[in-house]
Structure 1
Amino acid sequence: MTLAASPIRYPDAASRTVMTRRAWWLVVLNFLIPGAPQVLAGSRRLGRFGLGATLVLWTLAIVALVVWLLWPATLYTVFSTTITLWVVAALLAFYAVLWVILTLDTLRLVRLVKTAPSARAWVAGLTTLVMVALSGTAAYGAYVATTASGFLSSVFVAGPSKEPVDGKYNFLLLGGDAGPDRDGLRPDSIRVISVDAETGQAVTIGLPRNMEDVPFPEGTSLAELYPEGYGSIDGCEVDVCLLNSIYTEVELMSPEMYPDAVAQGSEPGIEAMRDAAEAITGLEIQYYALIDMAGFQQLIDALGGVTVTVPEDVPIHADETFTTVAEWIPAGDQHLDGYHALWYARSRHGTSDYDRMARQRQIQEAVLAQFNPANVLSKFQEIAAAGSQVVKTDVPQGSLGYFVNLAGKTKQLPIVDVELVPENGVDPEDPDYEYIRQLVQQAVYPPSPEPTEE
C-alpha cells in the first residue's frame, strides 16, 4: 500500500467506521509514541520533531535505568546537585509544553465530527486524559526538581567531601530545643552516628545531656579553659555545667573560640559540641546535623504523622515549667501528629532523661521510616518547606549521592544502639570516660569472630 492510499493520512471521510477506527489509532499512538500521529496524518515536520524528542527521552530514561542498576551512587550524585535539578526542570517543562501541543494537534487530526457519535465523547475524553497524564506528570516533575534545588541550596553547603576515618563516617546529630524559659538553644537530644563507609552498618551512641566534667580534645580552646573537664574546677559561664550547656556558653558568650565556624557552614556552639562529642566517644566526627525540635513538628505534620508504640502513658504539659499536665498520650500503638510527637519526645513530668532519650530515638526512627518515595513525592512541597527550616548541616551537596546510596544499605541492616546510661554502667554525674570510649570502640569496631576449627 502506498502512502497516498494510507487510510491514516487519506481516510475515507464519508465512512464513520473508518474515521472512528482511525481516531482510536491516532489517540493510542499519541500516548505510546508522541509525534507519530503527526508523521502519519499531519505535519511531518512537527511529527519528526516530536519523534526526535521522544527518542531522546527514551534514551535518557534507559541510560538512567542502567546507571541506577549498575552504579546507583553515580545517579544519586548527579541528581543531588542544584545545576542538574534545574536542567531537569527545564527539560521536563519543555516536554510538558510539547505534549500539550502534540495532543491538541492529535485531537485536531482525529476530526471528531466525522467519527461515530457514540465514540466522540470517549475519544475526546481519552485524549484529554492522555494530555493531563503526560503533561501533568512532566510539569509536576519540573516543580519537584525546582523545589528540591531550593531545598538543597538552603540546607546543604558547597564544599569538598571528606574521607572516612578508619572506614567510618561519623555524624553528630543534635536535637535543639529553644524555649521562652531558657537563654538560647540547648541540644536536648545528642547522638553520634557511626556508619561503615562500605557496608552501611550503623551504630548510634546516645549521649545524656546531663553528663558532667565533659573533656575536650587536646589543643582546643575549651581544653585550655577547662583542663580537668567542663566546669570541674571553678564552674562555667552558665547556670549548670552539663554537656548540653556547652553549646549555649560558646554560642552566646565565647563565639571567638571558633572564628571559622560560620564560614564553614556551622556555628561556634555546634563546633564546641563536636569537640565534646569527639572527646567523649573517641571518634573523629566529620559532619553534624542540627534539628530544630520545635520546627520538627512541622516536618512530622508534612509527613502525615508518625506511628509509634507508647510503652506507658506520657503526659503533655500545660506550661514550660513541665509540672502541670494538660493531657496524656495513652499507651499502645499511636499515630501522632507533629504536636503530640514533639511532646512525646520532650515530656519530662514524672520521667527521667534516659526515658526521654529512648523516646527521642523512637521518634527519630519513626520519622526515617516515613521517608519512603511515595510519601515524599506526594507531599514534597510541605516536606521541603519544613525541612529547610528544621535542618542545619555541614554535609556538602557533592556527598549527597554517596550518602543516599549508603543510607539505602543502612536501612537493610539492624542498627546497633549504645546508650551511655546507668544501665550500661555509665553514671552521667561521675562518668568514666575511658570506659565510655571502650564501649564505643567495641560497638563501632567489633572484634572479628574467631575462626572455627573443623
Structure 2
Amino acid sequence: MQSALPPDHRAALGRIRFRRAVALMLMTLVLPGSAQLAAGRKEVGRIAMRIWFSVLLIGGLVFALALVSHSFAFWFFLNPFWLGMIRFVLMGLAIGWAFLFVDAWRIGEPLALAQKQRLAMVGINGFLCFSVAGSLLFASHLVNVNKDLITNVFSSGKATDATDGRYNVLLLGGDSGKGRWGLRPDSITVASIDAKTGKTILFGLPRNMLNFPFAKGSIMAEQYPDGYNCGITCELNSLATWAADHKALFKGIKNPGVEATTEAVEGITGLKINYFAMVNLKGFQRMVDAVGGVTLKVRDRIPIGGVGGPVTGYIEPGTRKLNGHDTLWFARSRESADDYSRMARQKCVMNAMLHQLSPEKVVLNFDKIASASAALITTDIPRSEVDHFISLALKARGQAVRTISFVPPQIVTGKPDIAKIHRMVNAAIHPAKKSSGKSHSGTTKKPTTSTDQGTTGGAIGSMHAGYAANQASDLGSAC
C-alpha cells in the first residue's frame, strides 16, 4: 500500500517516521520509560518511570542531606555496605537503561525506514547505549574500587576515643631493603590532631634515638624496665627487628614491630597513640605519580642515590614539581646530609601532599590512587572512623601544620631528656600554658624559628621546651 503512494509522499512519510524514531530515543535519554508510554507499552513505561523517579527522589534526598551535613556525606559514601548498594543500583540502571534504548529503537520500526535512516538509527542507538550505560558502569567500577580500598586498607577493629581532645596517629615510613627483616620504620612521626578543629601538630622522632623508656605497663617496659639502653645498636627504629625476633611476647598482636615502636613513642612523648599508619617508602613514588606529582620548594641540592651506591643525579634548588621518583629521593636522600634534615624534608612532603591533593585530583585519578594506596598503606584505623578522619583532614588543609622535632641541639639523641620532651609536647598542645618567654637569666628571649634544613642545628622544629609553642615551624614556609 505504501508503494502506491507518490514518491514525495513516501519521502515525507519516511522523514516523519525517522523523526519519530529519533524522538523516542531522545525521550528515553531524558525520561526513561516515556517512549514506552507514548508508544502504548504502558506497563513497561510505568515500571521504568517509577524506578527512575524513586532513584531521583532517594538521590535528591541523599544529596540534600550531604549538603546540610558533611559528616553524613562522608559516612554514607565511605560505608562499604552503602557503597555496595550504590554499585548494584548503578549496574541495574545501566542494564535497564540500555534495554529501554534498544526497546525504543524497536518501537521506532527501523525496518520501515530507508537504508540511510536505519544506519543512522543504529548509530544513534549505539552511541546512547554505550555512552549512558558505559558511564554508569564506569561509575559503578569507581564505587567498587573505593569499597575495596576501604575494606582492604582499613581494619574492622574498634574505635578509640580521643585523649585530651586529640587523636594521636603514629605515622611510619617503612624502608625495607636487603639484609633487613620486614618493613623497618625509618621515618617516625606522631600526628596529633585536634578532634574538633583538625588542627595538626607533627612530632618528629629521630630513628637513631637511644636510651628511651617505654609506656608504663607495656610489653616492652616489662622487657626493659630501665629503658632501651642496650647499646648503640638499640636505636628507635630497631624495635621492629627486635619484635620480629620475639613474636611470642606479642600474642594476639598482628604487627609486633608496630606495637613495640608504639610503646616506645608513647614512653618518649607521653602521648597515648590511637592508631598507626605505615607507608612503604619504596612504593611511595606510585602514589605521587598517581596524583600527577607534587610541588616542593627545594632549598638545597639533593643527591639522588649515594650511601652505599653511586649518586646518579641531583634535584636542583628552586620551586619544582617533582614526579614520584624524585619526590621519594627528596624525602629519603642521606648523601651529604643527616637524619634530622631528612626528617624535615619528609615533613615537607607530607604537608605538600595534604594541601595539594585536591578533591578534583582525587576524582580524576581515583583508580590509580586507590590502587597505589592499597599496596602502600598499612593501618589499624577502623573503617567506622574513616569518614571522621577525612573530615578532620579537610579541616586541616586550611590551617598551617606545625612541627616539632626532638633533635639536637635541644635534644641529645644518644641520651634524650624525656622530661624535657614531655614539656615540649605539652607546651605545643596547650599553648596557653607555655612559659612567659623569659630565659633563665631573667631576660626576655625573642622566639625564633629554625628552617635551615641543611644542618643538624637548623633541623626544622628544634626548640627549647619553654618556647615550644612559639618556635613550632610552619612547614609551608620551610619548604
Q: TM-score, normalised by structure 1?
A: 0.85
Cα distance in 1 between the residues matched to 2:256 and 2:167: 22
Task: Judge conservation of contact 2:183–2:280 (CA < 8 Å) in 1.
Answer: no
* Partner in structure 2 of residue 439 of structure 1: 424
Match of 2:272 among 284, 289, 302: 284
Say which SS state the counterpart of residue 61 (structure 1) adopts.
helix
- Match in the other structure for 2:328: 342
Q: Which moved more, 1:61-70 or 1:370-379?
A: 370-379
The residue correspondences of 1:63-102 to structure 2 (distance < 5 A) are 63-102=61-100
Given the superposition, is the C-alpha separation of residues 179 and 30 from structure 1 closer, same or farther in structure 2, using an over 3 Å criterion?
Answer: same
Moved more, 110-119 or 148-157: 110-119
Q: Deviations over 1:94-121 (max 9, x none)?
A: 1111111112222333456878999888
Contact 1:306 1:336 in 2 (8 A): yes
SS of the residue aligned with 1:447?
helix
Ranges in structure 2 where 5+ consecutive residues have no aligned partner: 1-9, 435-479
Amino acid at match of 1:389: A
Counterpart amino acid of residue 242 in structure 2: E
Spell out, residue by residue over 1:225-269, the C-alpha distance to the aligned partner (whole angstroms, 9 max, x if none). 3333212xx43xxx612111122212x22223321211xxxx111
- Once the two structures are TM-superposed, the CA of residue 195 in structure 1 deviates from its matched residue by 1.1
Deviations 1:134-188 (A, max 9, x none): 2122101211222222222221111222211121111000001011153443211
Q: Deviations over 1:345-379 (max 9, x none)?
A: 11111011111112111222333345433333333
Q: Does the CA-based 8 Å contact 2:427-2:433 persist in structure 1?
A: no
Residue in 2 that maps onto 1:155: 153
Identity of aligned residues (%): 33
Give the superposition deviation at 1:291. Answer: 0.9
The 8 Å contact of residues 27 and 123 in structure 1, kept in 2 or not, is answered as no
Task: Report the equivalent of 2:298.
Answer: 310
2:150 is equivalent to residue 140 of structure 1: no
**Partners of 1:13 and 1:19 within 8 A in 2:** no
| Aligned-partner SS, 1:422 | coil
Equivalent residue, structure 2, for 1:245: 238
Tell me, yes or no, if the aligned pair for 1:177 and 1:294 is still in contact at 8 Å. Answer: yes
1:8: which partner in 2? none
* Distance of aligned partners of 1:128 and 1:362 in 2 relative to their CA distance in 1, 3 Å threshold: farther
Partner of 1:171: 169
What's the secondary structure of 2:201's corresponding residue? strand
What SS class does the counterpart of residue 240 from structure 1 fall into?
coil
Q: Which residue identity does 1:32 align to in structure 2?
A: V
Q: Secondary structure at the match of 2:189?
A: strand
Which residue does the alignment assign to 1:402?
388
Shift of 1:380: 2.9
Counterpart selection for 1:255 from 233, 247, 255 = 247
1:23·1:115 contact (CA, 8 Å) conserved in 2?
no
Quick check: 2:195–2:392 contact (8 Å CA) kept in 1? yes
Residue aligning to 1:390: 376
In structure 2, what is the Cα distance between the partners aligned to 1:446 and 1:130?
61
Q: Is the 8 A contact 1:14 1:114 kept in 2?
A: no
The aligned amino acid for 1:261 is I
How much has 1:285 moved relative to structure 2? 0.8
Quick one: distance in 2 between partners of 1:414 and 1:120?
Answer: 63
1:417 alignment partner in structure 2:
403
CA-atom RMSD, angstroms?
Answer: 2.7
Contact (CA 8 Å) 1:323, 1:349: kept in 2 or not? no
Alignment of 1:335-374 (within 5 A): 335-369=321-355, 371-374=357-360
Amino acid at match of 1:374: E
Aligned residues: 425
Q: Is the 8 A contact 1:17 1:116 kept in 2?
A: no
| Higher relative contact order, structure no. (Cα contacts within 8 Å, ≥ 6 residues apart) | 1
| CA distance in structure 2 between the aligned counterparts of 1:109 and 1:365, rounded to whole angstroms | 59
Which residue identity does 1:445 align to in structure 2? Answer: H
Query: In structure 2, how many angstroms separate the alpha carbons of the residues matched to 1:122 and 1:49?
Result: 29
Which one is further off, 121-130 or 91-100?
121-130
1:54 deviation in Å? 0.9
User: Which residue of the other structure, out of 310, 313, 317, is the alignment partner of 1:327?
Assistant: 313
In the other structure, the counterpart of 2:469 is none
CA distance in 2, matches of 1:97, 1:405: 35
Q: Could you tell which deviates more after superposition, 393-402 or 39-48?
A: 39-48
Matched, 1:217 2:215: yes
Deviation at residue 448 of structure 1 after TM alignment: 8.0
Task: Check conservation: 1:35, 1:51, Cα contact below 8 A.
Answer: yes
How far did residue 322 of structure 1 move? 3.8
